[in-house]
């Protein structure tokens, strides 16, 4: 019985190895095939990124309509990075000024940051509400 179990495990392991080896040799990469099989908005939005002199990514939204710029911003990793600066509104504002090129969207974002900062400092909204409003920009 014990000998049969060992043989069964050995055959199973050999079969598993053979299957994995053959799949690996075939060059099938499901995740990359899914990424390249269709046109996605994220692929289109890569063209809106550049590097600044320090090598950090910046968002270039100069001639982009405001609605589209908002959609690009909401998917951007820069948005999360900016929100990580909370509750330092000066750092948030500085981030937006330095990591977004001048554009109507940047003006919209800076006005929103200033409004939320003023409301937060005046005690009109608490920290959770301020985070929600920043996240909604």
pLDDT per residue as tens digits for the range 65-84: 888 889 888 888 888 999 89
Domain assignments of the chain as residue spans, ordered by start: 2-31, 41-136
Residue 85 has pLDDT above 90, yes or no: no
C-alpha distance from residue 14 to each of 42, 77, 99 (Å): 41, 44, 53
Residue 95 has pLDDT above 80, yes or no: yes
Separation of alpha carbons 121 and 90, rounded Å? 12
The 10 Å Cβ neighbour count of residue 58 is 17
Burial (Cβ within 10 Å: 0-12, 13-18, ≥19) of residue 2: exposed
- pTM value is 0.63
């Amino acid at each position: 019985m014990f000998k049969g179990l060992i043989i069964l495990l050995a055959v199973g392991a050999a079969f598993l190895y053979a299957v994995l080896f053959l799949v690996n040799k075939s060059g099938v990469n499901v995740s990359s095939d899914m990424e390249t099989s269709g046109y996605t908005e994220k692929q289109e939005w890569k063209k809106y990124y550049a590097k600044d002199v320090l090598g950090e990514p910046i968002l270039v939204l100069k001639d982009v309509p405001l609605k589209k710029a908002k959609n690009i911003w909401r998917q951007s990793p820069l948005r999360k990075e900016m929100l990580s600066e909370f509750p330092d509104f000066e750092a948030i504002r500085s981030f937006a000024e330095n990591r977004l090129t001048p554009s109507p969207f940047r003006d919209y974002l800076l006005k929103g940051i200033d409004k939320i900062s003023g409301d937060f400092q005046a005690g009109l909204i608490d920290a959770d509400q301020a985070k929600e409003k920043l996240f909604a920009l």
